[in-house]
Structures are given as structure tokens and as C-alpha cells.
Amino acid sequence: MGRGTLEKLKAILQGELSATENVQQALNRIKELDKKIKAFIELNPNALAEAEAIDRKLKRGERVGKLAGLTIGIKSNINVKGLRATCASRTLENYVSPYDAEVIRRVREAGGIIVGMNNMDEFACGSSGETSAFGPTENPAVLGRIPGGSSSGSAAAIAAGMCDLCLGTDTGGAIRNPASHCGVVGIRPTQGLVPAHGLIELAVSFDQIGPLAPDVYGAALMLETIAGHNPNECTSLDSPSANYSDKLGIGIENIRVGTSPKFSELADSAVMEVIDGAVEKLHDLGAEVVEVELPNLEKSLSAYYVIMSAEFFSATRKFDGRKYGRRIEEVCGDEVLRRIKCGDYISRKDQHDRYYKRALQVRTLMRREFGEALNKVDVIVGPTVPKLPHKLGTKLSPAEMYAYDYLTSPISLAGICAGVIKAGEASGIPVGLQVQGKVLGEGTVLRVMRALEAAK
């Protein structure tokens, strides 16, 4: 911990810190803390060897990539060849990935050193990090509380300084929610910006891989490494490659920032207090704050769960225990089974119109509402999670658990991007500001986040 991503990268490139030392430090830190935090499920046995290869390259003055020597944690639902992508489930407990996800190929090419696979909610079904078959993850920022989920291990690893950057995944909020609870930076990119090949599905039309980082620079660096068109995927956006990290410091004068009265309706006042403070700060930094309408914001949650369940049911049919792993229904946890059951029910021919079709209409509505709102402003800012994280082990009903996603799922339905940065604390618990941008508006989102970060 301590130094920021940029400084760390400079130190490695200038030979003050070797990649090997950096990896060793990460491994030491994991060894020291992870019995308690449970941020990692598996470590990469080749991490040191890979770091040595980077060091040799540096010594010879060869070109190295953007992430040279940085330590990277990977959520366990992303395929890393030779490591287990368990999705924190007994289903895939022994599934050793036979291939690299496209983002992993890009991370490797950029010189990032994968240190291990992060813990998560089982099959990304959860918003607390508690549904992992390998035990719940702790929140390093507030011990005893949930770290949020489902990218629980990723956010915790960053918060505990166990690695430099992480790749998480966000379907209905799974990067943003734990980023908020753990006080780190997280980005959910625009649907299709980051290739999804190799990401084990929760709901494929919402799933997005994105970075978790200790600072905005780190998130920007990781995002520009993994973003960009993959012609081998149908749904990959054919967008020009972007450079975010160079343009972070432009400032936010003349940027129009939208807020909505809906946010205070849906979020607890303790959360809103911190958020309001952050909005004020943005105003002080030169942004123009404008109120926008999001009249049906709270309707997205149900629609999200309906569509997600239908797609999850479909995606889990391959876990029949024949080719690899075990049959999912026989070994998975209750929440995973519940979503499979929901999906089974929803996508039956006779039920299809009543639930699924209706939910897809709400998706259209969300797109329209956010589209209209974002015509008036550059970004919309608000809370990430309506509540503060609960104490580990507290029994919540499914509905209470799902309610954590009230403010993050609309962005998933709308297909736009959003970043989260720590806005402050409520009773010592981090609260993240959600900065919601237009389609491919990551650059602006990151600038706003950086401005807030720099003002601290």
C-alpha cells in the first residue's frame, strides 16, 4: 500500500522496485492477511517466474506493456489458463481453465502478473460476498462487515493492499457495490466495450468485466488495457481504442453533473449525507449541478432480476456434470438454486410473456429514461448502494438482499457505464459515489472521479 499505481509503475520501470519484489510483497501480504480476509481462492504458482521474465525484459531494455510488473487479481469467474475458475462454487471446484479469457490475454500482453483468483459470491449470485462455497470475504475497510459483492474478493484484495489491480465483473452492480463498501475505485464499462469471451456468465446481456483499483489512475490504466473491439465476439463494440489515463487531470469545469431526487427516496439518509457532500465538492470544483428526472428508477430492480434469472438458467444448463465439474443443482448453494428456479419458471413457454417479455420492456424504458437524462448532462452522480453494508452473518431475506442492487441495476439495464469512487464515510464505513456516464462515456466518468479524488 502507500504509493499509488502511477508511482508504483514508475518505480518498476525505473528499476527502483523489481517486478519480482513487487510480486513477493503481494504474496507476503496475502499470506499475512488472507486467512482472515479470504480475498483469494487460489494463487498462481507461476507468478514469480512471470515476474522474473518481466525483470529480464526490463534489464535488457526491451519494450514492456502498460501493466509491466503490476500484480493483478482475477475474479474466479474469468478463465485463466491453468488456474481454476471455480466461480466460488462446488460445481466448478476442480475446473482448471483450458483457455485464457480475452481480457487475460490482454493483461498478459501488457505485462501484468496474475497473482491469483479472487473469492466471490457463488456464480456471482449475491451482493454481499457471503454465498461463496469457500467462505465469506471480510471487508478490510470495516472488519466484521460484508465487503459487498459479488466481486467481493477483488474489492477486498485492493482494500487490503494484497495486489495492485483487480479484474471484477459487474452484472447488476457486482463491481460497483463492493467498491463502494470497501472504499476502492471500480468501473462498470459500457456494455460491449470490454470483450466478454472467457467470462463465466451470470447474465450474458448484462455481464461486464471491469477494473477495481486503489485509485482512479489504476482503474483507467487497467480499463484501457482490456477495452477494445474483439472481432471474434458478436456483442463486442466496434469502438476505437481509447486512452483514459492521460486525460484524467483535465478537471471538471463546465461539466454538467446531474442528480435526481429519486436517489434520496431510495437510499438511507446516512448514505445520502455523504453523497450530498461529494456533490457539493464537485460543484466547488467547477461542475454545474443540474437536477434530472429518472421517474421509474426503482422499477429496474425487478426487471433486472427477471432477465438475469432467465439468462442465468440458460447459462447454467452446461453445468450438467458430464464434461467437467459437477451437476450444478446437486451441489450449488441456495441462492444459485433459487435463481435457476426463477429462470426455469420465467422462461417457460406459457410464462414467457407475463414475466420475461415485460421485463424486457422495462429495459427499453430504462434506456429511454437514462438516454433522455444524459442528453441534458454529462454524468449523473448519486449513491451506489442504498444502505451501508450489514454485519457478516446477518440473516437477510432474498428480497432484502436484492434491494442492495436498486441503484446499480438501472445502469445495467440502460447499457451505459458507471464508476464508483469513495465519497466519504458514514460512521467509519466507506460510501461510494456512483458516477454514471453515457455510452462510451468512460473518459468523462473517470475525469469526474479523478477530480473528486484529487480534491481530498
Partner 1 sequence: MSNFGHQTFHRAVEISSGVWMAEREKEVGRSAEEIVESFARAAEELPKLKETYYSQETYNVSRPDGEPSREEERTEFRKRFISIMPGADEQGNLRVEVAKWVEGR
Partner 2 sequence: MKMKIGFEVHEQLATKRKLCCDCPTDYREAPPNTNVCPICTAMPGAKPMPPNVRAVDAVIELALMLGCDVVVDKPIYIQRKHYDYPDLPAGYQHSSTPIGINGELVGVRIREVHLEEDPGAYDPVAGTVDFNRCGIPLVEIVTEPDMHSPEEARRFLRQLMLVLDYSGKVRPEPGTLRADTNISLEGGTRVEIKNINSTKGAYRAVKFEVMRQKALIERGAVIPYETRAYLESQMITVPMRMKVVDFHVILDPDIFPIVIDRARVETIRKRMVEAPHQREQRLAKQYQISQAVAGVIVSERELANLFEAVAKEVDPKLVATWFQTNLKKVLNYMKLRATEVKFTHKQLAGLLRMVKAKRITPEQGELVLRKLVKQPAEPEELIRKLGLERLEKADLRAAVVRTIEENPKAVMDYRAGRKEALNFLAGKVMKFTRGRADPREILKFLRAKLKEKKKRRVSRRTKRSK
Binding site for partner 1 (CB under 8 A): 81, 94-96, 98-99, 191-192, 205-206, 231-232, 234-235, 237, 296, 299, 301-303, 305-306, 309, 321-324, 329-330, 334, 337-339, 341-342, 345-346, 354-355, 357-365, 367-368, 398-399, 415
User: Which listed residue (3, 10, 31, 348) binds partner 2 by CB under 8 A?
Assistant: 348
Taking the complex as a whole, the smallest distance from the CB of residue 206 to partner 2 amounts, in Å, to 9
Give the dihedral of Cα atoms 85, 412, 311, 341; nearest 10 deg: 90
Rule CB under 8 A: which of 160-219 touch partner 2? 196-201, 203-205
User: Which listed residue (28, 94, 235, 364) binds partner 2 by CB under 8 A?
Assistant: 235
| Preceding peptide of 245 cis, ω within 30° | no
Residue type, 189: P
The helix/strand/coil state of 344 is helix
Give the dihedral of Cα atoms 182, 177, 162, 92; nearest 10 deg: 140
313-333 CB burial, b ≥16 within 10 A, e <16: bebbeebeeeeebbebbebbb
Taking the complex as a whole, the smallest distance from the CB of residue 416 to partner 1 amounts, in Å, to 11
Assess 234 for contact with partner 2 (CB under 8 A).
yes
- CB nearer to partner 2: give 18 or 236: 236
Assess 310 for contact with partner 2 (CB under 8 A).
yes
Residue pair 382/437 in contact by the 8 Å Cβ criterion: no
CB-neighbour burial class of residue 156 (10 A; exposed 0-12, middle 13-18, buried 19+): buried
- CB nearer to partner 2: give 153 or 430: 153
User: Which listed residue (35, 60, 63, 349) binds partner 2 by CB under 8 A?
Assistant: 349
Longest Cα–Cα distance in the chain: 66
Residue pair 105/346 in contact by the 8 Å Cβ criterion: no
Identify which of 1, 346, 336, 296 has the alpha carbon closest to the alpha carbon of residue 157. 1
Taking the complex as a whole, the smallest distance from the CB of residue 313 to partner 2 amounts, in Å, to 7
**Span near partner 2 by CB under 8 A; candidates 98-106, 213-221, 389-397, 401-409:** 98-106
Assess 344 for contact with partner 2 (CB under 8 A).
yes
**Span near partner 2 by CB under 8 A; candidates 145-153, 233-241, 295-303, 377-385:** 233-241
Q: What is the Cα–Cα distance from 403 to 146, expressed in whole angstroms?
A: 15
- CB nearer to partner 2: give 114 or 159: 114
CB atoms within 10 A of CB 264: 17
Cell 470490454 belongs to 194
- CB nearer to partner 2: give 190 or 245: 190
343-376 CB burial, b ≥16 within 10 A, e <16: bbebbeeeeeeebbeebeebbebbbebbeebbee
Q: What is the Cα–Cα distance from 239 to 312, expressed in whole angstroms?
A: 28
- CB nearer to partner 1: give 318 or 368: 368
Picked from partner 2, partner 1, none, the partner binding residue 200 (CB below 5 to 8 A depending on kind) is partner 2
Picked from partner 2, partner 1, none, the partner binding residue 59 (CB below 5 to 8 A depending on kind) is none
CB-neighbour burial class of residue 63 (10 A; exposed 0-12, middle 13-18, buried 19+): exposed
- CB nearer to partner 2: give 44 or 79: 79
CB-neighbour burial class of residue 31 (10 A; exposed 0-12, middle 13-18, buried 19+): exposed
**Span near partner 2 by CB under 8 A; candidates 151-159, 239-247, 312-320, 332-340:** 312-320
Question: Which residues have a Cβ under 8 Å from the Cβ of 240 and sit 6 or more positions away?
Answer: none
- CB nearer to partner 1: give 264 or 347: 347
Taking the complex as a whole, the smallest distance from the CB of residue 265 to partner 2 amounts, in Å, to 31
Taking the complex as a whole, the smallest distance from the CB of residue 223 to partner 1 amounts, in Å, to 18
Picked from partner 1, partner 2, none, the partner binding residue 342 (CB below 5 to 8 A depending on kind) is partner 1
Picked from partner 1, partner 2, none, the partner binding residue 314 (CB below 5 to 8 A depending on kind) is partner 2
Assess 320 for contact with partner 2 (CB under 8 A).
yes
DSSP output for 240-296: -----GGGGGG--TT-EEEE-HHHHHHS-HHHHHHHHHHHHHHHHTTPEEEE---TT
- Which residues contribute to the site for partner 2 (CB under 8 A)? 77-79, 85, 87, 92, 95, 97-99, 101, 196-201, 203-205, 231-235, 310-311, 313-314, 316-320, 322-324, 344, 347-350, 356
